[in-house]
Amino acid sequence: MNKQQLFENIKRKKSFLCVGLDTDIKKIPEHLLKEEDPIFAFNKAIIDATADLCIAYKPNLAFYESMGVKGWIAFEKTVNYIKQNYPDQFIIADAKRGDIGTTMAAYAAAWAADGPLAADAVTASPYLGFGSLQPLLDTAAAHDRGVFVLAATSNPEGAEVQRAVRADGRTVAQSVVDAAAAVNATDPGLVGVVVGATLTEVPDVSALGGPVLVPGVGAQGGRPEALAGLGDARPGQLLPAVSREVLRAGPDAAAIRAAAETLRDAVSHLL
C-alpha cells in the first residue's frame, strides 16, 4: 500500500485508527507462550480482531529486537501476514532510525527498499541533522514509501532539545516540521512527522503537506477529544496511534474489538 492508498482508505473506512503492535513477551498470556511463535500468535489475534476498524499497524521494533532472532522472525511474519491477508492496511515500522552517511544508507536499504523488513513507512530520528536523513528520503521516494520523522515526542527529556529556540526564533521541533514540509513541496506526502498525543506545546503542522502520526492515545494519557486542531492540523491530517489500550485487551477477540471500536469512535471527530 502507498501513501495515496492510505488516504483513500481513511475516507472509505471513515477511520484514522493506527494500532501499535508493541508486543511485550512478558505480558503475553501464559497459554500463548506454548505456541511455536507466541509473539506472532498474539499479533495475529490483535490483527484479525481489528483489521476492519483501523487503517494502519505500527510494530515497535524495540520489542522485537529485544527477542533477538526470534523477535526478527516474528516481526517479518507479522508484516507478511498483514500484507497477504489485509492488503488495505498501511504498515509503519516504528524503528526510529537515525545515523549518517553510509550507515544511514544501509538503514534506508533495510527499511525503505525492497528487503524483507521493508514496510509502507518507517519512523526516523532527525536529531543528527535533518539532512542526515537524505539517503532514507531518497530510497523511500524511489520505492513509493513514506517516512515519519520525530518532531515533538512525549517524553519529558525531549523538551530540552525539541523546544530549544534557534537563532531564527523557531523551536527545533518546528524547524523539523518545516524541513519536512520543504521535502513535501516537491514530493507530496513523502514525509510525515511524529507528535506525541500528551503534549500541550506542539509545532505548527498546518503547512506540512503530509500526515502527523500521534502516538500515546488512550492508556498512555493522550485524550482523543484533545486532538482536534493539534498543531493547527488540517482535517484528515492526524493519525492517532493506540497500543496499550488495545493490546491489554488481548487475546480475547471480543475484548480487543471493543477496545479498538471505542477508540476508533473517540477519534472520529477528526474526519
Q: Report the alpha-carbon distance of residue 34 to residue 62 in Å, rounded.
A: 23
Known active-site residue 3: no
Three-class DSSP labels, the chain? CCHHHHHHHHHHHCCCCEEEECCCHHHCCHHHHHCCCHHHHHHHHHHHHHCCCCCEEEEEHHHHHCCCHHHHHHHHHHHHHHHHHCCCCEEEEEEEECCCHHHHHHHHHHHHCCCCCCCCEEEECCCCCHHHHHHHHHHHHHCCCEEEEEEECCCHHHHHHHCCECCCCCEHHHHHHHHHHHHHCCCCCCEEEEECCCCCCCCCCCCCCCCEEEECECCCCECHHHCCCHHHCCCCCEEEEECHHHHCCCCCHHHHHHHHHHHHHHCHHHC
The active-site residue, picked from 13, 77, 83, 96, is 96
Cα–Cα distance, 14 to 52 (Å, whole number): 11
Q: Kindly tell me the burial class for residue 69, based on how many C-beta atoms sit within 10 Å of its own C-beta (0-12, 13-18, 19 or more).
A: exposed
- The catalytic site residues sit at 96
